[in-house]
Structure 1
């Protein structure tokens, strides 16, 4: 009472279907590369002037943490 092998496992397609669009070949994407560099340089231009303020806030927080530990002991 076993079923035929055709019903147990699906068979592979007999014919390969072609797509409507032709396959594309890999190539360097110069347009997106230049956009990425532009975004990176824009962020650098924005963040470099803010770096001294970030460093001051970081240094003050480290100094206050150190003083709080000294006072707590």
Structure 2
């Protein structure tokens, strides 16, 4: 690759938009935390029932495997 080719590539990469450096997105962080806390508030009271259903499913699955053997 010659030096003329490199210059052509640099010229082709130029843009008319200003460079974007980013910024902290506090609004979306607030919405994300709000959704997370809302889910925790909704699911925390359901946790004991979910554990009971999981234990029953494990026990019935375990007895089914014993009956097959």
Using structure 1 for the length normalisation, give the TM-score: 0.66
2:16 corresponds in structure 1 to 18
2:37 corresponds in structure 1 to 41
Superposition misfits of 4+ residues, deviation over 6 angstroms:
none
Note the residue ranges of structure 1 that are not aligned, 5 or more in a row: 1-10
- How many residue pairs match? The answer is 61
Matched, 1:72 2:68: yes
**More helix as a share of residues:** 2
Using structure 2 for the length normalisation, give the TM-score: 0.69
Instruction: Report 1:24-63 matches (<5 A).
Output: 24-63=20-59
Rate the CA distance shift 1:34–1:53 in 2: closer, same or farther, 3 A. same
CA RMSD between the two structures: 2.1
